[in-house]
Structure 1
Amino acid sequence: MAEWCAENLRDCQAWKAEGIQISTNSNEAARLFDALLRQYVSWSDCAQLGGMDQTLRIMLEAEPNAIMSRVISLGLEVMGTGRSIRLDKNYHNELNQLLNDATKYGTIYERNHAKAIHLFANDKMLAACEKWEKILNEIPNDLLALKFAHDAYFYLGNKQCIRDSIARILPKWKSTTPCYSYLYGMYAFGLEECEQYEEAKKYAKKGLELNRHDAWATHALAHCMEMNGCVEEGIHFMESTESDWNKCSLLACHNYWHTALYYIELQKYDDALSYYDREIGNRIKSGAMLDIVDASSILLRFEMEGISVGNRWKALLPIVKPHLHDHILAFNDAHIRMVIEGCDDNTIRKDHCDSIANFINDNSGDNNDRTRNFGKSICDAISSYYSGDYHKVVQTLAPIRHNVYSIGGSNAQVSLQHLQYNLPTYT
């Protein structure tokens, strides 16, 4: 499915012809940078190249000091939100070294990219987005800046920017440019998050007409059906196209999450649990934060419906424990707290509570502000829910219930906090 990721890859001269000034003289590094970027945008592993990990390894071997090779390598770590520069000295040093090297011998384009991921990793997320937008103002066809900004706005809960960052550049792209079709799915998701559902469906379908394997366009359409209550249509759509999107390993778990969510809304819990056991629960072995978020949030939804999930929480605990003190996103912390409460582990609960308090007191930055203003309260509400203190859930969430989107995530994901806020009404 993803073999196009290995075809007609751009060398040094081809990148420069497109206005993207990279300093490497290694055509092999330049081509593999292109291949890795295509896999990132398509959420897929190219079998011909051995997948993203293999592509990345060979790219770095081709020229270890190449600035853009390190930008995309470290940028993928940054956007994965699973490594903290406060806790990981090697990661911290690698980002600093990249910034220093880009300043010494990189192009202006490369310096801007190195600075952007350095800012994001240092919890200056808004400033990072400004850097990416600056790049796009000058080079609207820079797919890496576009994708990094798209993901960052999602983490910031900035729905208008998810939409508008794509809207600004879409008319400036040539349809022959690699990954052009993926812009439609990205734009569709931004439209959907801004509740422009008809427009979102139009652009998602256009993306799928150009490439039926576009898992993000599929995802945008799934969101439209979810938010409009078209759950039976959603089930048919996701299941009838499963073979198109399930090879996109970086997003498949999340698309299965959407499918299972439809079944929960129809109160077909056995079907939903089957998806968890067959797909979602198995895919958490990746250790990816997105997969952890999917697994934890859907288990909590089962329990809010009165469905026992047995020992399923316990499988998540060893995966989230290494991230207890990361505090990269308040959104991640909320889902880590779900796992802790699902396992009813008092020691880890206290550790996580204390760690969040220390993070708020000892640090500063965009996520620090979000954790202080919203994230800590959401974590506290999750704990209160599990202790059966629904009155406290309401007290805790009431002042922030219109701002929960600020911790990031989609409308469908943050709706969980609204469900918790309203649950006491029916209890």
Structure 2
Amino acid sequence: MGTHTCRRRAWEAWKDAGLPLSTPSNEACKLFDATLTQYVTWTNDAALGGIEGCLAKLKAADPAFAMGHAIANGLVLIGTGSSVRPVPLGRGPGVIAPASQPLIDTHLLPCPGDPEGGRSWPRSPNFPGACELWEQILRDHPTDMLALKFSHDAYFYLGYQEQMRDSAARVYPFWTPGVPLSSYVKGIYSFGLMETNLYDQAEKLAKEALSVTPTDAWSVHTVAHIHEMKAEVKAGLDFMHGTEVVPARRRLLHGRAGGRRKDWRPGVRLRPLLRAHPSLQEFPSSLALAASSGALHRWTRWALCWVDTVGPVQVDTGSDMLACHNYWHWALYLIEKGEYEAALTIYDDHVRPHVWVRDPDTGASRLRRFPPRVLGVSVGERWRDVLPVTREHSRDHILLFNDVHFLMASLGAGDAQTTQELLTTLQEASESPGENCQHRLARDVGMPLCQALVEAERGNPDRVLELLLPVRYRLVQIGGSNAQRDVFSQLLIHAALQCTSGPHRNVARSLLMERDALKPNSPLTERLKRKAAAVHLLQ
């Protein structure tokens, strides 16, 4: 069975792989590998201090290691949680190695237009340009995982679905089983296939990946998307339940095979649990040993495992960076079924405690899928939990995808000041976009979408349609997945259901017929059709 235990390759191993590194430090090479592995597997290895701990040790091992700076700075930028500022090379904290260092590492290619001949950050984020450089690297070094993963994430942000698929397709044949992390490339490729509606191929490849590495949360994520897009609710729920925890782990903790306690519930992380309940260190003894050694990764899949001695109590060890997003997919199946309270329970137990800026959709979009005016479902004060995470980034404008979800949070929480600040600064960015592709897109797509959200909150459904209908086929350009952007399709449908003007009378009918054709047998679509029939919009 595969695990996501961090590999730590020394300099010679990197050279043998055709990827020589520019540091003489074996320790730096090993820490680079450990950081890369955690990034690819969506985990923080506690034994190594997680990604942040590895990066700190990496910098200490060789402060001049070019690829150390490339992965450190790249993770900050690809995380989209910090604004980019033009910083000349070597003149600020955390920047890449001096220009005098011989550069074997081709991730650090020169930025044009630097009058001093050194390398500096571009003056605006340029994801398309970065992708071109990563593709150049992959043509010469198809097993360069950092270039593949950075480009995969950037294509996702840009809504470049075909490029995301084809980038992986071009290098996939080189990732033979003996290449470290090769099974994860199956998951990366399968996601691109899924986003371009090649569901059968995507599912086959994702399940191949899971047969090698059951802890591969990204492949679980792909299969979750497939069942969601095909409205296969029961299959999706069964799959998420079946992959949440390895069956052998259940036997160890419960003393029986399969199943789980009906009353088990998340709550406490493992190490704090052991400190608070020393008796657990003796029962079972293997649990305490696993906790101290980090070996729990051998038994868990993408999320959580459980003990039922003083509780039940949660043991949290899985793919911690993606687990709450996978629970978001779990909740989508419940929303599809109309089980809104159950979906909110999933949100409260698994999503609410872990909302973070790189994945604003997980919190904001989930809550947006409970529109009280239409469904009579209240999310209560939950918006106020999301707002502190998003409010401090309301002026960043790194990704439009982030902006619209930050706006959902401020609107939902009733924070008029943050809402106005976000809209005003985004408008200003769209008027002077320079080479920033996101700011260029803001004028024609981002601002109408944001204004539509505002008008929906104000109860102006006809205005929502006027703003959204002309740009609906361009929304893919803001990035994210088809499943994530479906919240905007639902926004449009709900607005159409409430429209009163003659020109918009048949829009709801048209949208629902279209949705039914694309996603047959969807319980959510059926409920919306019944709603439309009740207000005489399907006649």
TM-score class normalised by the smaller sequence: over 0.9
How far 1:288 moved relative to its partner? 3.4
Residue number in structure 2 paired with 1:75 = 74
Q: Distance in 2 between matches of 1:358 and 1:380?
A: 15
Cα-to-partner distance string for 1:339-393 (whole Å, 9 max, x where unaligned): 0110122222111111101111233211112222211111111111111111111
TM-score, normalised relative to structure 1: 0.93
Q: Distance in 2 between matches of 1:178 and 1:172?
A: 12
TM-score, normalised relative to structure 2: 0.74
Query: Does 1:296 pair with 2:293?
Result: no
Q: Distance in 2 between matches of 1:321 and 1:275?
A: 24
Q: Distance in 2 between matches of 1:14 and 1:83?
A: 34
Q: Distance in 2 between matches of 1:93 and 1:296?
A: 38
Q: Distance in 2 between matches of 1:120 and 1:212?
A: 40
Does the 8 A contact of 1:238 with 1:259 survive in 2? yes
Greater than 4 Å deviation, 4+ residue runs: 1-4, 88-97, 117-121
Residue number in structure 1 paired with 2:22 = 23
Residue number in structure 2 paired with 1:62 = 61
Q: Distance in 2 between matches of 1:204 and 1:119?
A: 36
| Identity value in percent | 37
Does the 8 A contact of 1:112 with 1:135 survive in 2? no
1:424 to 478, 491, 495: 495
Does the 8 A contact of 2:88 with 2:120 survive in 1? no
Which letter maps to 1:220? Answer: T
More helix, by proportion: 1
Which letter maps to 1:419? Answer: Q
Task: Pick closer, same or farther for the CA change 1:235–1:119 going to 2, 3 Å.
Answer: farther
Query: Does 1:282 pair with 2:353?
Result: yes
Query: Does 1:322 pair with 2:381?
Result: no
Q: Distance in 2 between matches of 1:57 and 1:161?
A: 33
How far 1:43 moved relative to its partner? 0.4
How far 1:93 moved relative to its partner? 5.7
Q: Distance in 1 between matches of 2:399 and 2:429?
A: 12
Which entry has the higher C-alpha Rg, 1 or 2?
2
- Return 41-50 or 244-253, whichever deviates more: 41-50
Residue number in structure 1 paired with 2:13 = 14
How far 1:113 moved relative to its partner? 9.2
Task: Pick closer, same or farther for the CA change 1:121–1:76 going to 2, 3 Å.
Answer: farther
How does 1:273-422 map onto structure 2 within 5 Å?
273-284=344-355, 287-290=356-359, 292-303=360-371, 305-364=375-434, 365-422=436-493
SS in 1 for 2:441: helix
SS in 2 for 1:245: coil
Residue number in structure 2 paired with 1:5 = 5
Does the 8 A contact of 2:4 with 2:41 survive in 1? no
Q: Distance in 2 between matches of 1:2 and 1:420?
A: 41
Q: Distance in 1 between matches of 2:213 and 2:490?
A: 35
SS in 2 for 1:373: helix
Which letter maps to 1:251? Answer: L
Residue number in structure 2 paired with 1:218 = 220
How far 1:69 moved relative to its partner? 0.6
Which ranges of structure 2 fall in alignment gaps of 5 or more residues? 113-118, 246-300, 304-317, 499-539
Residue number in structure 1 paired with 2:314 = none
Q: Distance in 1 between matches of 2:433 and 2:20?
A: 36
Task: Pick closer, same or farther for the CA change 1:110–1:13 going to 2, 3 Å.
Answer: farther
Task: Pick closer, same or farther for the CA change 1:240–1:173 going to 2, 3 Å.
Answer: closer
Does the 8 A contact of 2:184 with 2:209 survive in 1? yes
Which ranges of structure 1 fall in alignment gaps of 5 or more residues? none
Task: Pick closer, same or farther for the CA change 1:48–1:300 going to 2, 3 Å.
Answer: same
Q: Distance in 1 between matches of 2:54 and 2:105?
A: 26
Q: Distance in 2 between matches of 1:159 and 1:119?
A: 27
Does the 8 A contact of 1:163 with 1:191 survive in 2? yes
Query: Does 1:252 pair with 2:323?
Result: yes
Residue number in structure 2 paired with 1:145 = 147
